[in-house]
Amino acid sequence: MKRFVGLDGIKGLALIAIVLYHCMQQRLPGGFYGVDVFFTVSGFLIAVSLIRSLAKTGSLNLVRYIPKRAVRLYPALFLLIPVIVSVGWLFDHDILVSIRDQVITVLLGCYNWYAIAGGQSYFDQMNPQVFRHLWFIGVLMQFYVIVPFIVWLMWKLRQTKLSSLIPLGLAAFSSIAMWVMYVPKGDPTRVYFGTDTHSMGLMLGVALAWWVTAPQLGHARQRAVPMPRTISSSASAAAHRAPLPRIPVEHRIWNAAAPVLAFLSLIALVTMAVIGKQDAFAFRGGIILSSLLSVLLIAGTISDDSWMQSLMVFKPLASLGKYSYGIYLWHWPLWILSSALAPKIFKAVGPWPLIMTALLTAIAVMISWLMVEKPAATHSAVSVVVPLRTNKKNHVARVIAVDVILVLSLAGCVQGIAHAPAKTAMQIQLEQQAAQLERMQKTEHVLLRHAVPAPPKPKHEMPTGDQITAIGDSVMLASSQAFRKSSPAFRPTRAFPAPSWSPPNSSATLCPPAVCGSGC
């Protein structure tokens, strides 16, 4: 079967955008568009595999399909989860808040819906959860469940154009749902995490797979021209040589235009990643546009004799794409841990969290690939932890090493889940400050009722704080004690959670000195 050249390079570029968005959001604010490139590539590859299975055997062979998908996803997760939870138990208990529910929903493939129900925000940088990035895996797992039936229905219709309307219609439905359900200036987590509202890239990938693969496997297939059985001489061979099938004009035009369109799509995607924001455009056109551009990028790269292939097979990019799954799994929790530990290790934090994340991710990905993922894909998932091929010393040593890592990390994971805190240290500190502020306000109220009238104040006396309007979120609340040192009567007028904070409207009555503070 034909292997599509250049897809690893596309995945590598998408991975760079996602990692930079997670670790350096201010440098690449639109890096989240890389997720849609990944979705489109994933939809394309899984649909191609299913279409080829139908062409070869006449069935989807779900008995083989389901274990194959599970072996692709779960072995790496079974290593990631206990290692990260046990490291969190040892070094940073804050990441263990609600960790039990996170682990369960990740393994069940529904973390995205758990995050939606729990009000978690993908775009909240103030209180990130260690497995928050695995919403992507949840959407992918749910897609793996429904896509065989979509491809089967397309195959039964046996019409290239008509069949492609099924995934195109589903992509349109998902796009419209995201557009309609998005609330401007609200939290976009529902439309971003929802499988129903964020599957346009996956469905467009399925449509592209049908257009590319189905005609080659029996749909609108051209009849082969038979070659002569015997050739007596070079002259007779030339005389009897069958003419090559003529390439239609539209195919020649496409082969010439496809690489150009792919290159322009790549430029557009890079531009969106650099200047994009989590605004109305992103959820009412931007994500849809990035999915369509991804289709053009893939189609123009895999087309015959495309010069875009030489760009996408660039070894560093292709290597990132090859290990993209492992890098995606490990980089985010290691970034959270590195950001928490770097200030305790280094006097000047600087770039150390990023350096630590890069080094630890590279080590973890190589261990996961060589000791878990590759053996599971090559032999079986059982061979990862059981020495089935006992005649191979290297195999036995690898199994022993994996078993030791799993036993130790599982022990730490059990402890981490059992002793997970209900709140982070920052949440506890803010609640204590809020309670202290409330007690001080009550005390002041009692004292004011029995206070002796004060002498007239100078005209230019510094404000004591009771004339100041202070509005904000947890940042304002955390700063209240410092304000009270210079202005004893200061107290925040209102405090809002970060996602819902907004400045007062024009009709509100404010004191002349007004202070607004927000961490978002």
Q: Where are the alpha helices (DSSP H) in 214-248?
A: 234-240
For residue 433, count CB atoms less than 10 angstroms from its CB and return exposed for 0-12, middle for 13-18, buried for 19 or more: middle
Q: Return the percentage of the chain with pLDDT > 90, whole number.
A: 60
Instruction: Answer whether residue 520 shows pLDDT above 70.
Output: no
Mean local confidence (pLDDT), 258-273? 97
Task: Give the C-alpha separation, 137 to 380, whole Å.
Answer: 21
Mean local confidence (pLDDT), 63-71? 92
pLDDT attached to residue 351: 94
For residue 120, count CB atoms less than 10 angstroms from its CB and return exposed for 0-12, middle for 13-18, buried for 19 or more: buried
Mean local confidence (pLDDT), 85-109? 95
**Helix, strand or coil for residue 213?**
helix
Task: Give the C-alpha separation, 322 to 314, whole Å.
Answer: 12
The residue that leads in pLDDT, 9 or 475, is 9
Domain regions of the chain by residue span: 7-218+254-418, 425-448+463-517
Task: Give the C-alpha separation, 517 to 473, whole Å.
Answer: 7
pLDDT attached to residue 426: 79
Instruction: Answer whether residue 245 shows pLDDT above 60.
Output: no
Instruction: Answer whether residue 472 shows pLDDT above 90.
Output: no
Instruction: Answer whether residue 337 shows pLDDT above 90.
Output: yes
Q: Return the percentage of the chain with pLDDT > 70, whole number.
A: 77
Mean local confidence (pLDDT), 210-227? 60
CB 56 within 8 A of CB 310: no
pLDDT attached to residue 510: 56
Structure tokens at 347: 């006097």
For 141-191, write each residue's pLDDT tens digit. Answer: 999 999 999 999 999 887 777 899 999 999 999 999 999 999 998 889 999
Instruction: Answer whether residue 218 shows pLDDT above 70.
Output: no
**Helix, strand or coil for residue 292?**
helix
Task: Give the C-alpha separation, 378 to 360, whole Å.
Answer: 25
Estimate the share of the chain in helix, then strand, then coil, as percent rounded to the nearest 5: 70, 0, 30
Mean local confidence (pLDDT), 489-505? 53
Distances (CA, A) of 431 to 32, 205, 424, 425: 33, 47, 11, 10
Q: Where are the alpha helices (DSSP H) in 303-383?
A: 308-312, 315-322, 324-345, 352-368, 374-378
Instruction: Answer whether residue 304 shows pLDDT above 80.
Output: no
pLDDT attached to residue 251: 74
Distances (CA, A) of 349 to 91, 339, 340, 354, 355: 17, 9, 10, 10, 11
Dihedral angle of Cα 372, 376, 380, 386, to the nearest 10 degrees:
0
| Nearest of 42, 45, 47, 51 to residue 155 by alpha carbon | 51
Residue with tokens 């996956």: 202
pLDDT attached to residue 428: 84
Mean pLDDT taken over the chain: 85
Confidence of residue 249 (pLDDT cuts 50, 70, 90): confident
Map 135-184 to HEC letters: HHHHHHHHHHHHHHHHHHHHHHHCCHHHHHHHHHHHHHHHHHHHHHHCCC
Q: Which residues contact 292 (CB under 8 A, 6 or more apart)?
A: 204
Mean local confidence (pLDDT), 112-127? 77
pLDDT attached to residue 456: 66
